[in-house]
Amino acid sequence: MSHKIINVTVRDVRFPTSLEQHGSDAMHTDPDYSTAYVVIDTDCGLKGFGFTFTLGKGTEIVVCAVEALAGLVVGKFLQDIVSDFRGFYRLLTSDGQMRWLGPEKGVIHLATAAVLNAVWDLWARAEGKPLWKLLVDMDPKQIVSCIDFRYITDALTEEEALVFITCMGCFSRLPEDLMLKEGYPAYTTSCAWLGYSDQLLKQLCTDALKSGWTKFKVKVGADLEDDIRRCRLIRQMIGPSNTLMIDANQRWDVAEAISWVSSLAEFKPLWIEEPTSPDDILGHAAISKALAPLGIGVATGEQVRAPCLFLHTYHWLMNQ
């Protein structure tokens, strides 16, 4: 059965999370967690749903960008898209007039992701599976074939391509039985948003422990004394065997990051996430090197601009 895409619609959906400081961190002190929400319609009634996450203001810009991309999608057949998903990605990101607005960056990146997510969802529904199961059933090489490695085709080995898809969150190599039985490993960020009171933090942490959570992320970076107090509180509540991570959301300079995180070392965080500018690979490397003796890792890449940046990061890590 063929599935012709006949319509792409997008909605600006906002949630007033800032009212109670849900989602707040050192850089985003009053976020209204929101989304540009895409629905794809096909001629046979099947639909695909996708979105990307925004923080409130400006969601209308992403909506506007999705509307501009829609013209590249309407009229396509799902079968043609999935038989050359890499080509479809390149079609969306290489339009001769629109690529100037990225390429593959910022608003255009977010809008492209919302459309692609909806197409992946449509694909899974057409196969009669949830998306995770579609991915699990794919051969790793099939997944690699969906990704556009433009610019680095020559430099990327097959092994690196597989590391890439693993880093990007594809879990095709996790044992499916285990996943169905025990669930997928995850941590919670919901206990310790930066704007929460100590009282709320204690209550949410108690609830999360009761629900079986073992890994907890805490937002840091606005005020060192506050961070010390909050990390001490969380560590006391979760005990030494559970895991604590911290996240500064790009708040610091490189030197500041090293000094600040060193002051929190006694609480044994597994990693500091996004200590500095997301564009500064070498800055992250310097922070990573300085914190290694303290047993604290550096997490980044929530925003990776381009596969070539991933490749250089990977090569740098391999050469340490």
Residue 98 in tokens: 């629109």
Buried b (16+ CB within 10 A) or exposed e, 193-215: bbbbeeeebbebbeebbeeebeb
60 binds a second copy (CB under 8 A): yes
158 binds a second copy (CB under 8 A): no
Strand stretches in the chain, DSSP E:
5-14, 34-42, 47-54, 188-192, 215-219, 243-247, 271-273, 297-299
- Interface residue with a second copy, options 191, 248, 283, 291 (CB under 8 A): 283
Rounded distance, CA 21 to CA 178, Å?
36
DSSP run (H or E) holding 208: helix 198-210
State which residue, 133 or 150, has the beta carbon closest to a second copy: 150
278 binds a second copy (CB under 8 A): yes
State which residue, 35 or 42, has the beta carbon closest to a second copy: 35
State which residue, 66 or 78, has the beta carbon closest to a second copy: 66
Please state the closest distance from residue 14 (CB atom) to a second copy, in A: 10
Mode of pairing for the β-strands spanning 5-14 and 271-273 = unpaired
222 binds a second copy (CB under 8 A): no
Residue 246 in tokens: 């911290």
State which residue, 123 or 260, has the beta carbon closest to a second copy: 260
Compute how many residues bind a second copy; rule: CB under 8 A: 56
Footprint of a second copy (CB under 8 A): 27-32, 54-58, 60-62, 64-65, 68, 94-103, 105-110, 150-155, 250, 253-256, 276-280, 282-283, 305-306, 308-309, 312
